[in-house]
C-alpha cells in the first residue's frame, strides 16, 4: 500500500488539474482505511523523493492534529521513535522541518513526561560535536518549544545555559538561527528566575545576529524579532544592555551595503525602544548617536538617475502611502517622529537643531529636504513647544522653501506646511495673510500633468484652509472658482477626487459663507455619486465623504430637505457596491444626517444598524500568511471526516496550524470597523429614544471589539461605549421608566470595568486618552447616576490617581526613579495627565463637595507637585486650572484646603507664563468665594497682588480674570475691598475681551453693588451703560445675565432717571437705540 500512496502523492504534485483531482479522490478514499497512517509513515521514511517525504510528513501531522485519540497506543509509541529516527537520517532541511512539526504535534498530545526520549534526544543532539547534528537538535528544539512552550518552562534555565554555548557557533547559521528563534518564543513565558540568565545572553544574541547578517540577511531579520518580543513582553530584560542594542541597530541602519529590509528592521527596533523607554534613551545619552546616524540616512541622495518615490512625477502618489514606504530613508523620518512624540521637546530640539540648521542652509537639495522633513514631523509631538517658541522662524523657513529652485525641496516644504497646518492650530491660522497668497499662487501655476506635485499642493491647501474659520472669507471666491474649475475642466479622476476633498475642507472653515456656492457643488456631487464605474470609485467615495462634511457644516436649514434623499442614497450604495471605503464614508454620512434628523431617522435605523453590525462582525480583509516551506497543494481530508463520528471533534485539541505563519488585515477594513463604531455612537446620541430598540444588539457587537489588536478600533470602541451610556441616560431623563434606568446601570457595570482595566493596561497613550475623555463625558452627563454603585467613586479616583502618578502601562511605570527629575515630559505624556485631571472637578460635581473632599485631599499633593519651580509652564497651568475648577465644584467644602492652596495660587499669579497667571488669578477668586471667613485675613495680600497685575498686565485673558477675581472678592466681603478705588479700575477693563465666562461674574458683581449701595454704582453709570451696549445682543453674555442687567437699568430708570438718560445720550446713536429698545421691551 505504501507504493500506492507514494504514487498518489506524486500525482498530487503534477501540474495537471485533472490528475490532481483524481489523486485527491483516491487519497480521500485511502484515508478511510485505519492502516493508512502507518503506511504514510513508511512513505515518510522510505521514499527517495524529498518532496514526497515532506508531503507525507505534513499529511501525517494534519491527520494526528485532528484524530490523535483514535491512534492506538502501539502506533503512538512507534510514531515517537519514527520521528526521532527520521529527523536524524533526513538530509533535506525542508523535510526535517516538516518532521519537526510532526514531532511538535505528538508532544502537544503526549507531554514531555510521556516522551522522555525526546528530551534526551534534544540534549544529546544540541550539544553534539558534529555540526549537522547540532543543527538537527536546534531545529527540533525550536519547533517543539514554539508549539508547547509551557511544557519546557521547567527546563528554561538549562536551555538558556545551552544557548550561551550555541550562540557562539560561528559559521553555523542554522544553529544560530534556531537558537535565537527558541529564545524568542521563551521570552514571554519566563519567570523572574530566568531573567538574569536572559540578560547576560543579550551580548551573545547581538554577536550571533551580526554573524547571521554576514551569512544570511533574511535569517538575520527573523532573528531580530527577538528584540521585538523582549520589548513586547519583558522590556526590562533589554534595559541593562540598552546602549549595546541601540548602537548595534544604528550600525546596521547606517550600513548602505546591507539590504533595505534589514536596515528598516534595525530602525524599527530603535523606534520601538524610543516608544517604550524614552527616559532611559535620554538618561543613557543615546539621543545624540541616534540623531547623528539618522540624519545622513534621511539626507541620502537616491541612486543616480532615480528619485525618491514621493518626488516622482511619473506616477500618481498618495501622501499616506508615501509615509508607509518601507525604506531606510523614510523610516528614519518616522524615528524622528517617534522621538518627537516621546521625548521632552527641551531635550530633543537643541540636539536636532545642530543637525537641521546646517542642512537647511546646505547647497545639497536632499540635505534641505531632510531638514524640512524633520520640521514637519516635529510639529505633532512638539506642537506646544513650537507654537510658543519657534513658530514664526520655522514657518518662515518653510515658506521660503516653497520658492526653492529644486522640486524635491518644494515637495518637502508643502508636506511640512500641511503638517504644520494640521498640528499647530490655532496659532498658525494667524499667518493666513502670508500663507494663503503663496498657496493660491502655487495652486494656479501648476501643470495639471504634474499630478504628484499637485497632490502635495492640495494636501497643504486642505490642511491650512480647514482651520481658518471666518478668516477664509477673503480667499473664498478665488478658492471656489479654482476648485470648481478643476471639477469642470479636468479629465483626470485623481484631480476630481482631490478637488472634491478640498471642498470638504473649505466647507469646514467657511460654514454658511459657502452657501452661494452650494448649488454648483451639490450638482457636481450628485453626478459623481451615481457614477458606478470602477475607475471612478475613488471620486465617488470622496464625494460621499464631502457630502457628510457639508451636512455637518451647513446645518439643518440647508440640508434637512435633502436628508431623506441622502439616506436613501447611502443605503442604496451600500447595497450595490462592495467596497469597505465606500461603506465607511456611508456610515459617516449617516452619522452626519442624524445630527439634523434626530429621531426622524428612525425609519432607516434598522437597515443602518444592520449594515454597521455586519461590518463589525465581518472577517473580510483578513489575509492568511502561509509558511514558505509548503509550496505545493495540501490535501485536506475534511470531507472524509464528515463520515466519521462527529463526537470526536468535540474532544480534539484546537488546531494551531503550523503552516499558518500569521494574519494581517487590510487597512480599509480596519477603517470600516472604526467608522462603523464612531457612527453608531453618534447616531445613538442624536436619535435618542428612536435608537433604543437597536441599542442592545449594537452595544453587544461593539463591546466584542474592546480588546481589538488595532489601536484605532479600540479607541473608537471605548468612545462609542461611552456614547451608548450617555444616549441611554438621555432617554431615562426624558422618560424615566424603571426598565431603562436598570438597563443603564447594567451597561455602566459592563463599561466602567473595561475602562478601568484598559486605562491601566493598554500600551497606547491615545487609547487611554480616549477612555479618559469618554469616562469624563459619562460623569459629566450622568452625574450621580454614574455613581450609584457605591464602589465606583473609589475605583474612578484610583485610576485617575494612577495616571497622575504615571503608573499605567503606557507611561513607562518601570522607569527608574530620577529619570525625569527635571520635570520635563513629552507633550503627549503631559496631555494624558491633563485628560485625567479634567475628570477631577467633574467627579466633584457628580458626587458633591462633602463626599468628594477626602478624595481631593488625596489628589492635592499630586497636583501641587506640578507647581515646582522646575515644572513646565503647561504642567503649572494644568495644576492650577484643575485646582481652581475643583474648588468651584467643592463649594464650601473647599475651605479646609485654603491654607495649602493660597500660597501656590499667589505664586502662580506672579509667573511669567500668561496661562499660569490667568488660571492662578481665577483660582484666587474662587478660593476666596468659597472659603469665605477662612479667606478674610488674606484679603490685603490678595488685593495687593491683583492690583499690581492689573497695573502692568498686557495679556487680555489675565486682565479678564483679574476682573472676575475682584468681583468675587467684592461679593464675598464688600467691606474688605476699597470699592471706590477698585470699581473704576475694573470698569475700565470692561467689557471683557477674551474670557467671556467671567462676564456673568463681573455683571453680577455690579448688580450686587447696586443692591448694596445704589449711589456708589450710579456715579459710574456712563461706563456701565457703555459696557452693556457693547455686549447686549451678543453671545458674550448669557441670557440670564442680560436679564439681570436690564432689571438693574430699569430700576435705575425709576430711581435715577436723569443719570441713566445722560449715560445713554453719551453713547453713539446706534448703541443708544439698542439700549432704549431693550429697556422698552416688556
SS (H, E, C) 861-929: HHHHHHHCCCCCHHHHHHHHHHHHHHHHHHHHHHHHHHHHHHHHHHHHCCCCCHHHHHHHHHHHHHHHH
- Per residue in 156-183, pLDDT (tens digit) is 999 999 999 999 998 899 999 999 999 9
The mean pLDDT of 792-808, rounded to a whole number, is 97
pLDDT of residue 319: 45
The answer to which of 302-306, 423-427, 462-466 has the lowest mean pLDDT is 302-306
Q: Domain for residue 935, yes or no?
A: yes
| Same domain (yes/no): 933, 1040 | no
Q: Is residue 804 part of a domain?
A: no
What's the pLDDT at 579? 94
Within this chain, do residues 35 and 126 fall inside the same structural domain, yes or no? no
Assess whether 245 and 233 both reside in one domain: no
Q: What is the mean pLDDT of residues 559-585?
A: 94
CB 358 within 8 A of CB 299: no
pLDDT tens per residue, range 1026-1048: 999 999 989 899 999 999 999 99
Q: What pLDDT does residue 1015 have?
A: 94
- Using DSSP, state whether 209 is helix, strand or coil: helix
Judged against a pLDDT cut of 70, whether residue 235 lies above it is answered with: yes
Cell 497667571 maps to which residue? 917
Q: Is 252 found in the same domain as 150?
A: no
**pLDDT recorded at residue 663:** 58
- Asked if the structure places residue 387 within a domain, the reply is no
Average pLDDT over residues 860-872: 92
Contact (CB, 8 A) for 365 and 412: no
Please check whether residues 991 and 1037 belong to one and the same domain: no
In a domain, 15, yes or no: yes
What's the mean pLDDT in 9-28? 88
| DSSP code for 471 | G
Judged against a pLDDT cut of 60, whether residue 818 lies above it is answered with no
Contact between 235 and 196 (Cβ < 8 Å): no
For 358, the 3-state DSSP assignment is helix
pLDDT given at position 821:
54
Q: What is the pLDDT of residue 822?
A: 64
Which of 960, 986, 1012 represents a domain boundary (last residue)?
Answer: 1012
- Is 1023 a member of any domain? yes
| Whether residues 126 and 231 fall in one domain | yes
Taking the CB of residue 867, how many other CB atoms lie within 10 A of it?
A: 21
Question: φ and ψ at 977, to 5 degrees?
Answer: -120, 130
Taking all residues of the chain, what is their mean pLDDT, rounded to a whole number?
91
* 231 shares a domain with 286: no
Q: Residue 433 — φ and ψ, nearest 5°?
A: -65, -30
If 0-12 CB within 10 Å is exposed, 13-18 middle and 19+ buried, where does residue 1019 land?
A: middle
What pLDDT sits at residue 660? 58
Q: Is residue 929 part of a domain?
A: yes
Instruction: Residue 512: name the closest of 468, 469, 475 by CA.
Output: 469
Give residue 638's pLDDT.
47
Query: Torsion-angle region of residue 819: left (phi > 0), alpha (psi -120 to 50) or beta?
Result: alpha
Whether the predicted pLDDT of 444 surpasses 90? no
Using DSSP's 3-state secondary structure scheme, residue 28 falls into helix
Q: What is the pTM of this model?
A: 0.90
Q: Give 640's pLDDT tier (boundaries 50, 70, 90).
A: very low
Q: What total number of domains does the chain contain?
A: 5
| Distance (Å, whole) CA 144 – CA 626 | 19
Last residue of a domain, one of 239, 265, 286: 239
Find all residues with CB under 8 Å of 554, minimum gap 6, and list them.
507, 511, 512, 514, 515, 518
Task: Determine the Cα angle at 28 with ends 24 and 29, to 5°.
Answer: 120
Element (H or E) spanning 622, and its range? Answer: strand 622-626
DSSP H/E element including 411: helix 407-423
pLDDT of 442: 86
Helix (H, G, I), strand (E, B) or coil at 623: strand
What's residue 851's pLDDT? 97
Distance CA 1079, CA 1082 (A): 8
CA–CA dist 777, 715 (Å, integer):
15
Of 108-112, 188-192, 650-654, 759-763, which has the strongest mean pLDDT?
759-763
- Given this model, what pLDDT does residue 736 score? 72
Structural domain contains residue 753 = no
Span 849-878, average pLDDT:
94
Look at residue 1025 and tell me if it is in a domain: yes
How far apart CA 625 and CA 660 sit, in angstroms, is 6
For 681-731, the DSSP string reads HHHHHHHGGGGHHHHHHHHHHHHTTTT-SSHHHHHHHHHHHHHHHHHHHHH
Name the band, by pLDDT with cuts 50, 70 and 90, for residue 625. low
Compute the residue count for the chain. Answer: 1082
pLDDT of residue 1043: 93
> Are 130 and 199 within one domain?
yes
Asked if the model's pLDDT at residue 253 lies above 60, the reply is yes
Q: What is the pLDDT of residue 639?
A: 43
Distance CA 160, CA 142 (A): 13
Residue 1042 lies in domain: 1017-1082
Considering the domain architecture, whether residues 208 and 137 belong to the same structural domain is answered as yes
Task: Report how far residue 658's alpha carbon sits from residue 760's, in angstroms, rounded to the nearest whole number.
Answer: 34
Q: Which of 110, 133, 163 is the last residue of a domain?
A: 110
Is 653's pLDDT higher than 50?
Answer: no
**Span 176-201, average pLDDT:** 92
- In a shared domain, residues 977 and 1051: no
pLDDT score, position 342: 97
- 958 with 1026, same domain: the answer is no
Q: Are residues 969 and 1053 located together in one domain of the fold?
A: no
Res 379: pLDDT:
96
Other Cβ atoms closer than 10 A to 240: 14
Nearest alpha-carbon partner for 629 in 141, 172, 139, 211: 139
Contact 205, 183 (CB under 8 A): yes
The answer, yes or no, to whether residue 187 has pLDDT greater than 70, is yes
Amino acid at each position: 500500500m505504501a507504493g500506492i500512496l507514494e504514487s498518489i502523492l506524486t500525482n498530487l504534485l503534477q501540474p495537471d488539474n485533472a490528475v490532481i483531482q483524481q489523486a485527491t479522490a483516491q487519497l480521500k478514499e485511502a484515508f478511510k482505511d485505519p492502516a493508512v497512517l502507518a503506511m504514510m509513515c513508511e512513505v515518510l521514511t522510505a521514499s527517495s523523493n524529498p518532496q514526497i517525504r515532506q508531503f507525507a510528513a505534513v499529511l501525517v501531522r494534519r491527520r494526528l492534529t485532528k484524530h490523535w485519540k483514535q491512534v492506538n497506543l502501539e502506533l503512538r509509541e512507534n510514531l515517537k521513535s519514527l520521528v526521532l529516527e527520521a529527523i536524524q537520517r533526513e538530509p533535506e532541511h525542508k523535510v526535517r522541518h516538516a518532521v519537526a512539526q510532526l514531532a511538535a504535534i505528538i508532544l502537544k498530545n503526549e507531554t514531555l513526561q510521556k516522551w522522555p526520549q525526546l528530551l534526551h534526544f534534544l540534549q544529546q543532539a544540541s550539544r553534539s560535536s558534529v555540526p549537522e547534528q547540532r543543527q538537527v537538535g536546534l531545529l527540533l528544539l525550536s519547533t517543539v518549544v514554539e508549539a508547547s512552550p509551557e511544557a519546557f518552562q521547567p527546563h528554561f534555565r538549562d536551555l538558556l545555559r545551552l544557548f550561551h554555548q550555541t550562540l557562539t557557533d560561528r559559521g553555523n547559521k542554522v544553529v544560530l538561527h534556531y537558537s535565537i528563534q527558541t529564545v524568542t518564543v521563551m521570552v514571554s513565558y519566563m519567570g523572574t528566575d530566568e531573567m538574569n540568565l536572559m540578560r547576560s545572553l543579550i551580548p551573545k544574541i547581538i554577536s550571533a545576529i551580526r554573524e547571521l547578517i554576514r551569512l544570511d540577511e533574511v535569517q538575520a531579520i527573523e532573528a531580530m524579532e527577538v528584540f521585538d518580543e523582549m520589548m513586547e513582553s519583558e522590556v526590562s530584560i533589554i534595559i541593562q544592555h540598552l546602549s549595546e542594542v541601540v548602537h548595534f541597530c544604528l550600525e546596521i541602519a547606517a550600513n548602505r551595503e546591507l539590504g533595505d529590509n534589514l536596515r528598516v528592521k534595525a530602525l524599527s527596533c530603535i523606534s520601538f525602544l524610543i516608544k517604550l523607554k524614552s527616559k532611559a534613551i535620554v538618561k543613557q545619552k543615546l539621543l545624540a548617536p541616534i540623531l547623528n546616524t539618522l540624519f545622513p540616512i534621511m539626507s541620502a541622495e537616491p541612486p543616480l538617475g532615480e528619485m525618491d518615490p514621493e518626488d516622482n512625477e511619473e506616477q500618481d502618489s498618495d501622501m499616506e502611502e508615501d509615509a508607509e514606504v518601507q525604506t531606510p530613508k523614510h523610516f528614519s523620518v518616522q524615528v524622528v517622529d517617534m522621538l518627537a512624540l516621546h521625548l521632552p521637546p527641551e531635550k530633543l530640539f537643541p540636539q536636532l537643531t545642530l543637525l537641521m540648521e546646517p542642512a537647511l542652509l546646505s547647497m545639497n537639495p536632499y540635505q534641505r529636504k531632510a531638514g524640512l522633513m524633520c520640521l514637519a514631523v516635529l510639529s505633532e509631538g512638539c506642537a506646544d513647544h513650537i507654537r510658543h517658541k519657534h513658530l514664526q522662524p520655522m514657518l518662515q523657513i518653510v515658506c521660503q522653501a516653497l520658492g526653492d529652485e529644486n522640486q524635491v525641496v518644494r515637495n518637502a516644504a508643502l508636506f511640512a506646511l500641511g503638517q504644520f497646518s494640521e498640528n499647530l492650530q490655532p496659532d498658525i491660522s494667524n499667518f493666513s495673510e502670508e500663507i494663503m497668497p503663496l498657496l493660491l499662487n502655487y495652486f494656479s501655476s501648476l501643470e495639471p500633468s504634474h499630478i504628484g506635485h499637485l497632490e502635495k499642493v492640495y494636501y497643504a491647501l486642505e490642511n491650512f484652509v480647514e482651520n481658518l474659520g471666518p478668516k477664509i472669507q477673503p480667499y473664498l471666491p478665488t478658492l471656489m472658482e479654482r476648485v470648481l474649475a478643476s471639477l469642470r475642466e479636468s479629465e483626470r479622476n485623481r484631480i476630481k477626487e482631490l478637488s472634491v476633498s478640498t471642498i470638504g475642507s473649505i466647507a469646514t472653515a467657511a460654514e454658511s459663507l459657502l452657501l452661494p456656492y452650494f448649488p454648483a457643488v451639490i450638482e457636481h456631487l450628485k453626478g459623481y455619486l451615481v457614477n458606478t464605474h470602477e475607475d471612478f470609485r475613488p471620486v465617488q467615495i470622496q464625494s460621499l465623504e464631502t457630502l457628510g462634511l457639508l451636512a455637518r457644516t451647513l446645518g439643518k436649514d440647508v440640508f434637512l430637505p435633502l436628508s431623506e434623499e441622502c439616506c436613501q442614497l447611502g443605503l442604496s450604495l451600500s447595497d450595490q457596491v462592495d467596497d469597505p471605503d465606500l461603506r465607511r464614508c456611508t456610515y459617516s454620512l449617516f452619522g452626519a444626517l442624524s445630527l439634523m434628523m434626530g429621531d426622524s431617522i428612525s425609519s432607516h435605523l434598522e437597515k443602518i444598524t444592520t449594515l454597521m453590525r455586519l461590518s463589525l462582525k465581518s472577517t473580510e480583509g483578513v489575509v492568511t500568511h502561509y509558511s514558505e516551506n509548503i509550496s505545493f497543494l495540501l490535501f485536506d481530508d475534511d470531507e472524509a471526516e464528515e463520515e466519521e463520528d462527529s463526537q470526536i471533534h468535540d474532544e480534539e485539541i484546537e488546531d494551531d496550524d503550523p503552516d499558518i505563519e500569521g494574519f494581517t488585515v487590510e487597512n480599509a477594513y480596519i477603517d470600516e470597523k472604526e467608522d462603523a463604531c464612531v457612527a453608531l455612537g453618534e447616531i445613538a446620541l442624536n436619535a435618542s429614544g428612536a435608537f433604543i430598540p437597536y441599542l442592545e444588539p449594537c452595544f453587544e457587537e461593539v463591546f466584542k471589539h474592546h480588546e481589538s489588536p488595532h489601536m484605532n478600533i479600540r479607541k473608537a470602541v471605548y468612545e462609542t461605549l461611552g456614547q451608548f451610556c450617555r444616549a441611554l441616560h438621555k432617554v431615562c431623563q426624558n422618560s424615566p421608566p424603571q426598565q431603562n434606568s436598570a438597563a443603564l446601570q447594567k451597561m455602566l457595570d459592563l463599561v466602567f470595568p473595561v475602562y478601568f482595566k484598559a486605562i491601566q493596561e493598554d500600551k497606547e497613550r491615545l487609547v487611554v486618552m480616549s477612555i479618559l475623555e469618554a469616562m469624563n463625558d459619562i460623569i459629566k452627563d450622568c452625574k450621580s447616576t454614574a455613581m450609584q454603585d457605591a464602589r465606583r467613586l473609589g475605583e474612578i479616583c484610583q485610576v485617575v490617581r494612577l495616571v497622575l502618578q504615571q503608573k499605567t502601562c503606557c507611561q513607562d511605570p518601570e522607569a527608574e526613579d530620577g529619570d525625569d527629575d527635571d520635570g520635563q515630559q513629552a507633550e503627549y505624556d503631559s496631555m494624558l495627565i491633563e485628560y485625567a485631571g479634567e475628570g477631577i472637578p467633574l467627579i466633584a460635581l457628580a458626587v458633591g463637595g462633602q463626599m468628594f473632599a477626602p478624595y481631593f485631599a488625596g489628589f492635592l499633593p499630586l497636583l501641587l507637585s506640578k507647581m515646582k519651580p522646575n515644572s513646565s509652564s503647561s504642567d503649572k497651568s494644568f495644576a492650577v486650572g484643575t485646582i481652581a475648577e475643583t474648588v468651584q465644584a467643592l463649594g464650601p467644602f473647599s475651605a479646609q484646603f485654603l491654607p495649602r492652596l493660597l500660597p501656590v495660587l499667589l505664586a502662580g499669579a506672579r509667573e511669567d507664563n500668561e496661562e499660569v497667571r490667568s488660571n492662578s488669578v481665577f483660582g484666587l477668586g474662587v478660593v476666596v468665594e468659597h472659603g469665605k471667613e477662612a479667606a478674610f485675613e488674606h484679603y490685603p495680600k490678595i488685593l495687593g497682588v491683583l492690583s499690581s497685575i492689573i497695573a502692568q498686565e498686557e495679556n487680555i485673558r489675565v486682565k479678564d480674570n483679574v476682573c472676575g477675581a475682584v468681583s468675587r472678592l467684592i461679593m464675598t466681603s464688600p467691606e474688605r475691598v476699597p470699592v471706590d478705588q477698585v470699581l473704576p479700575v475694573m470698569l475700565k477693563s470692561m467689557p471683557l475681551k477674551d474670557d467671556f465666562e467671567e462676564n456673568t461674574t463681573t455683571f453680577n458683581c455690579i448688580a450686587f453693588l447696586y443692591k448694596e449701595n445704589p449711589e456708589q454704582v450710579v456715579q459710574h453709570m456712563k461706563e456701565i451703560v457703555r459696557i452693556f451696549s457693547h455686549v447686549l445682543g451678543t453671545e458674550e453674555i448669557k441670557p440670564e445675565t442680560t436679564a439681570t442687567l436690564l432689571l438693574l437699568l430699569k430700576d435705575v430708570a425709576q430711581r435715577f432717571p436723569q443719570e441713566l438718560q445722560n449715560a445713554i445720550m453719551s453713547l453713539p446713536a446706534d448703541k443708544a437705540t439698542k439700549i432704549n429698545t431693550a429697556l422698552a421691551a416688556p
